[in-house]
Amino acid sequence: MKQLPRLILFIITFLFTKIYMAGAEIPANPQSVPPLMYGCAWYPEQWPESEWESDLANMQAAGMTMVRIGEFAWSSLEPDENIYNLDWMERAIKAAAKHGMVTILGTPTDTPPAWMTTKYPEVLRVTEDGTRLQHGSRRHFSIGSEKYRSFCKKIVEQMAKRFGHNPHVVAWQIGNEYTEDSFDQESRARFHLWLEKKYGNLDELNKNWGTAYWSQTYTKWNQIPMTTGRSNPGLLLEYKRFVTDTWRDFQRDQLKVINHYAESRQLTTTNLGGLGWANRFNRQHIAADLDIISWDEYLGAGWFDKNKNGTGHLDPLRSGATHDLVRGWKQKNFWVMEMPPGFVDWGPVSNALDPGETRAMAWHAVGHGADAIAFWQWRSALNGQEQYHGSIVGPDGTPLPIYEEIAQTGAEFKKAGATLAGTQPVSQVALIHDYESRWAIEFNPFTQRYDQMQLLIDYYRALHQKTQSVDIITPEMDLSRYKLVVAPSLNIISPALAAKLIQYVRAGGYLVLGPRSGMKNEFNALNLERQPGPLSKSTGCCVEQFYALIEDVTISGTWGTGKATIWAERLQQLTKDAEVMLRFDKGSNWLSDAPAAVRRQDGDGTIIYLGAILDNNLMEHVSSIWINEAGLSSSLIPVPPGIKVSRRVGLHHEVFVISNFSKTPELITLPNPMVDVLTGNEVKSFTLPQYGVLILKQNT
């Protein structure tokens, strides 16, 4: 009986929309991107055209303003070589527009059709062990195949010519969730040419890679292996850079075609998957060529840890950090192109989120800078590898229980869109996440307990709960906008990067370097200078030796008392003005009474070297000291644990998104009255239930 009201709502909405829209004309003027876009992935090619209208009517009733189509539709767009069928796509775009929805077009280059992989098997990807993939999945193509790239450019050209001026197309998504590299002979040849172009001659490469070790010296370019296993650190780092450049070239091929034929108002993006933190390539470099970056927020990183022991629900801390990481790739707002409506189908236990949790998840993303939320997917596929994946309507096209929550969120997005337009998060503190340093450590972590992502999250937790806004950026970015910059594991520090960091400090910045910083140079070779390498003079200290810890070590000093865990470094003072802030306690074996953290003034700023991973309590206390000394503003809205506050700033106002991820209702008292954006009422104090969300506006 509970399904009856939902079914009646669907029938009424469908009939009303059918009658109302029967005589509607497509607007002549191009549609703009809504300030807060809301939609889903829709696959009209998988369903009879007679059912499109009911799908779109139900989307409209759920407050959706956007559909994404096309990213898996190559066989429907080009059923045979040079035979194109784009008419159905034009009808789908037109039908969506009648229901008030703009379209994001995906280029279908993630799923080559069977006629191609059969006729031209050389386009198929080869795994590192030499296995050539078969047809029937996705990403089974080689990004190094020139033949495949030519097919990609041709289908994208057909689409761009046809839809580059379509008034309802607002953006293009290049491919889908870039992931796999290929080890075919053509890709290997590309790698060797890439190395030759970079180094010029083998003598230079051999010198910087230290190939005299284990008789690795190369006399011909094609002698150099292409591997991801334990190998020469210089080779491994360059291979990661090569993969990044190869994906970037693959993307640029399509961007050139789109930019040639399409109107500039049509934005370009791609949706990066891998739970945000994936590091097969440098995602910031991929984002650099696009108008806006998107990512797909699936909760594997938050639901389940390495041992499959996750709670099965949103981890708002890790989720928030991931949003901030994605925002940092371009230092601007972003889109979430895929979000699960309730559950996935690939978890150890693919449980559903609680009622209200999907709505809270969407608003949480908006608070961290998302200007678009799209769910994957709209309707359950009848077949295919993801037929059990969560959706908003069932295979019969009628709403599932999650539909009402999706519709509530859609109505709220429409109300809040104008207020959120032109706003973005603004932070005074930045965490540095460096792909190359991360790769260098992961090639040889030295201890399986050293989890770089967890370390970053621990720093993020301590800083965010006090400032309520943290940027996560790469070291190449402008640091001058931040009062406090924290680099937990900046393993690779080149002379150029060292000079940039010293300049930041001397100009008045506050820089914190975490353990393992400055061990390597840009070739992934050990620096001749002890850690932190070219920053040792600025910090006034160096690392005498590093140690992987089996048991925690007591640590104490001016900054307090606690434990050093997982990793510790014995520091040596090099200058008298380097203040020792923490020491390892006596009796700690090799670390006994040695400095663990040093602070030094350099120019108008402060530089700190922290040679240990601290327990959470000490980390929170020490981070408070950094925040105070750097002159940062404290939390703008004091809240109890479990309440997450995000702030977006506009020209004349700021918006706070407050969400309750605790298990009980929580009372919150504001420092001053603010306006509830969804009701228009002024509020001073309120009680938020579990998964409750409040969007507040304050004029500035």
Say yes or no to pLDDT of 18 above 70.
Answer: no
Confidence (pLDDT) at 28: 52
User: Per-residue confidence at 673, pLDDT binned at 50, 70, 90?
Assistant: very high
Q: Are residues 614 and 652 in the same domain?
A: no
Assess if residue 621 is contained within a domain.
Answer: yes
Beta bridge partners of 150: none
Q: Are residues 370 and 481 in the same domain?
A: no
How far apart, in whole angstroms, are the C-alpha atoms of residue 474 and residue 685? 39
Please tell me whether residue 97 adopts helix, strand or coil conformation. Answer: helix
User: Per-residue confidence at 543, pLDDT binned at 50, 70, 90?
Assistant: very high
How far apart, in whole angstroms, are the C-alpha atoms of residue 289 and residue 172? 13
Assess if residue 397 is contained within a domain.
Answer: yes
User: Per-residue confidence at 309, pLDDT binned at 50, 70, 90?
Assistant: very low
- Count, in order, helices (H) and strands (E) of the chain: 19, 25
Assess if residue 635 is contained within a domain.
Answer: no
Phi/psi for 135 (5° steps) reads -75, 155
Confidence (pLDDT) at 16: 40
Q: Are residues 662 and 564 in the same domain?
A: no
Say yes or no to pLDDT of 23 above 80.
Answer: no
How far apart, in whole angstroms, are the C-alpha atoms of residue 597 and residue 580? 6
Whether 395 and 383 have beta carbons less than 8 Å apart is answered as no
Assess if residue 459 is contained within a domain.
Answer: yes
Assess if residue 636 is contained within a domain.
Answer: no
HEC string of 664-683?
Answer: CCEEEEEEEEEEECCCCCEE
Question: Tell me, what CATH number does 110's domain have?
Answer: 3.20.20.80
What percent of the chain stands above pLDDT 90? Answer: 85
Assess if residue 383 is contained within a domain.
Answer: yes
Confidence (pLDDT) at 481: 95
User: What is the token pair recorded at 454?
Assistant: 């967890």
Q: Are residues 283 and 149 in the same domain?
A: yes
Say yes or no to pLDDT of 337 above 80.
Answer: yes
Whether 543 and 531 have beta carbons less than 8 Å apart is answered as yes
Confidence (pLDDT) at 30: 79
Say yes or no to pLDDT of 24 above 70.
Answer: no
Question: Tell me, what CATH number does 660's domain have?
Answer: 2.60.40.1180
Per the prediction, the chain carries an average pLDDT of: 92
Confidence (pLDDT) at 300: 55
Q: Are residues 198 and 287 in the same domain?
A: yes
Averaged pLDDT, 50-65: 97
Q: How many CB atoms lie within 10 A of CB 225?
A: 14
Question: Where are the strands (E) in 479-626, listed by range?
Answer: 484-487, 510-513, 541-548, 553-557, 560-573, 579-584, 595-602, 605-610, 612-614
Domains contained in the chain, number: 3
Confidence (pLDDT) at 604: 97
- Residue 411 burial class via C-beta count within 10 angstroms: exposed 0-12, middle 13-18, buried 19 and up: middle
Assess if residue 668 is contained within a domain.
Answer: yes
Assess if residue 465 is contained within a domain.
Answer: yes
Say yes or no to pLDDT of 354 above 60.
Answer: yes
Q: Are residues 416 and 435 in the same domain?
A: no
Say yes or no to pLDDT of 53 above 60.
Answer: yes
Pick the last residue of a domain from 420, 442, 461. 420
* Residue in this structure with the two tokens 């060529």, named with its chain if needed: 289
Q: Are residues 416 and 441 in the same domain?
A: no
Averaged pLDDT, 665-687: 96
Please tell me whether residue 59 adopts helix, strand or coil conformation. Answer: helix
Q: Are residues 340 and 226 in the same domain?
A: yes
Confidence (pLDDT) at 311: 61
Nearest to 64 by CA among 548, 413, 352: 413
Say yes or no to pLDDT of 389 above 90.
Answer: no
Say yes or no to pLDDT of 376 above 80.
Answer: yes
Query: pLDDT, tens digit, for every residue of 219-239?
Result: 999 999 999 999 999 999 999
How far apart, in whole angstroms, are the C-alpha atoms of residue 187 and residue 183? 6
Q: In terms of residue numbers, what domain contains 670?
A: 643-699
User: Per-residue confidence at 654, pLDDT binned at 50, 70, 90?
Assistant: very high
Averaged pLDDT, 135-154: 93
Confidence (pLDDT) at 595: 97
Pick the last residue of a domain from 420, 450, 476. 420
Q: Are residues 360 and 306 in the same domain?
A: yes
Cα pseudo-dihedral 158, 162, 166, 169, rounded to 10: -20
Averaged pLDDT, 162-166: 98
Confidence (pLDDT) at 544: 96
Say yes or no to pLDDT of 527 above 50.
Answer: yes
* Residue type at position 535: L
Q: Are residues 416 and 542 in the same domain?
A: no
Averaged pLDDT, 485-501: 97
Spatial strand order in the sheet of 643-649: 643-649, 653-660, 693-699, 666-676, 682-688
Q: Are residues 612 and 516 in the same domain?
A: yes
Beta bridge partners of 568: 547, 612
Say yes or no to pLDDT of 12 above 80.
Answer: no
Question: Tell me, what CATH number does 538's domain have?
Answer: 3.40.50.880
Pick the last residue of a domain from 362, 396, 420. 420
Confidence (pLDDT) at 17: 41
Question: Where are the strands (E) in 90-156, listed by range?
Answer: 102-106
Q: Are residues 477 and 335 in the same domain?
A: no
